[in-house]
Structures are given as structure tokens and as C-alpha cells.
Amino acid sequence: TDRPKISDIFPTLKNLLDLTCETIEQKEAPKDIDLAFITLPPTISMQYVPLFAGNGIKVIDFSADYRFRDKSLYEKWYKAQHTDSKGIETAVYGLPELFRNEIKKTNLVGNPGCYTTATILALAPLLSKGLIHSEDIIVDAKSGVSGRGREPKEDTHYCECNENIEAYSVGSHRHSPEIEHILSIKTNQKVSIQFVPHLIPMNRGILCTIYAKPKVVGANGRSPLHDDEVHKLYKEFYGKEPFVRLKEGNEMPRTKDVIFTNFCDIAAKVTENRIIIISAIDNLIKGASGQAVQNMNVMCGFDEKTGLL
């Protein structure tokens, strides 16, 4: 059979990228490449990553196979034995805002999930400073239909998802342990969340509304923190980050402002007994391919904004 061009599979790339697709022999990695993006499903990806990484090729893996440092946690949630023990132990979680120095030194990056990116970036400053209870966090997340993948499913048929919002994978979504695992590692404490994702009738974009309980409350039961103080904390934490934008005052993140970009927009508000954090990303860019390009730039010593701004 004739080998297809990438533009045959993705017509929007016609006359932009017309490279011919090649097959990969499972026992031999392609030669003369510096870096590989592996976009295979979980449990399949680990069969190919060692072929590349073992030949000195830098690898950015899109599946969940290299996002966990705890092999048993991966196996519990993905119901499969992890066959690349060395890889899962040495891989770096690909969130440059939190793990930039480690990404610079590694040859294997596990590219984060979309919900996890939006949630971890929203919570990291408050958890790092110990300002919220790490085991009393509620994450209400909403994603466009592309977040459910390209493979057709009943709930992504037009007549099912149009004019409809529904929760799915309640209490069982695989991004939940990923969020807890990475935040626990980064902030040196046990992090536990209640995570509920929702499918909403739009193509792309994620909006997370997160409810956290402040550790310190006054005699009146209210947090002594003010919006300005929380905003200052986020500004200090992310001030130099090119792809994190903080909303001012009463302005809140919107998916419309981040789609087709690599930005994560964040806002935080203090209420009587909660701190509410809202974040928005494009699930296909900052939640996937854009973040992978950002990781490539860090790994290869390029300007981090190359190809993204």
C-alpha cells in the first residue's frame, strides 16, 4: 500500500506539512533524529519509548505511561503492568512551570494530561505556601468535546453532546491520581482531591473551578487572607512564566481567551470559608501539543517561547 502523507490524515495541513508517514519496526528506532514525540495510547507507548530513549533520542511521551513516579500507582489505575521500570523511574513530569530544571537535564518527559495541567498550575502556589488544607480540595472541571479523544463514542456524537452538559468518570477519572501524585511530590505533603469532570458542547477548552479550604481562619470563621494577598502570592510564584497569565480584580478566566494558545489563565478569590481558584487552558495546546513543544524547547536549550508566541 502507498504510504499516506500526514496531510491526507489531517487535511488542514495540506501545503503546510506534506511529509510521508513511515512505519516503525518495533525492534529498531528511526535514525538521524534528535527528539521524538510519542503519541500512542497508554500501555502501548511504553513498548516503543525504550527503543528511542535507549538510542540516545530525547523523548516526549503524550500517554500516561511516564507521568507517575510510582509504578504501582500507575498499574492500579491503568490496569496493566508497566514494562519499562527504568523509564518510569527516570522520566520527568513535563510541566515546565514546576519542573523546568529537571526537564533541562532529562532525555524522557511524560507530557501532562489536560485536566492535570489546569488543576496543578492553579493549586501549586497555595499548596507550596501551606495556605490551604491539602486533603480538602474540590475540583469542578469542564472540557470541550475534543478532550474525549478522536475515537467516536456515544457521548461525543453531535446529537448526544449538543445542547447538553454532563459529568463523567465521577470518582474514577485517571487524571485524579495524577494530580494528587504530582502535587504531593512537589509540595511535600499528602494531597487529596475530589475531582469531577464535565463534558460541555464546545470543541476545545478547559475551565476548572477549584474550592480549597484555608488553613488559618479567624474567630469569625473567615480567612484573614484578602484577594490582593493571594494575587500577590500567585504573581510572585508565576511572575516570570511566559505562559501563565493572572487575571486582575474581578476579571475571571474564560476559555475563549485561551483557545489556540499555550496560555493558562488563573484567578483566585477569597470567600468566607474558601479560596476559589479558576483556571482556563486550551486542552489541545497547553493541555497537550503546545506543552510538548514547550518541553522540547526546554530540553533542547531553545527559547522556551519558540513556535508558541
Asked if 192 and 134 touch (Cβ cutoff 8 Å), the reply is: yes
Q: Is 67 helix (H, G, I), strand (E, B) or coil?
A: coil
Which regions of 43-173 does DSSP assign to beta strands (E)?
Answer: 58-61, 92-93, 108-110, 132-143, 166-167
Cα–Cα distance measured from residue 294 to residue 282, given in angstroms and rounded to the nearest whole number: 14
164-167 own/partner pairs: CB under 8 Å, 24+ apart: 164/199, 164/201, 165/198, 165/199, 165/200, 165/201, 166/198, 166/199, 167/196, 167/197, 167/198
* Residue 114 among the catalytic residues: yes
Per the residue annotation, which of 114, 161, 208, 264 is the catalytic one? 114
Cα–Cα distance measured from residue 39 to residue 108, given in angstroms and rounded to the nearest whole number: 14
Nearest to 106 by CA among 118, 93, 124: 93
Asked if 112 and 94 touch (Cβ cutoff 8 Å), the reply is: yes
Active site members? 114
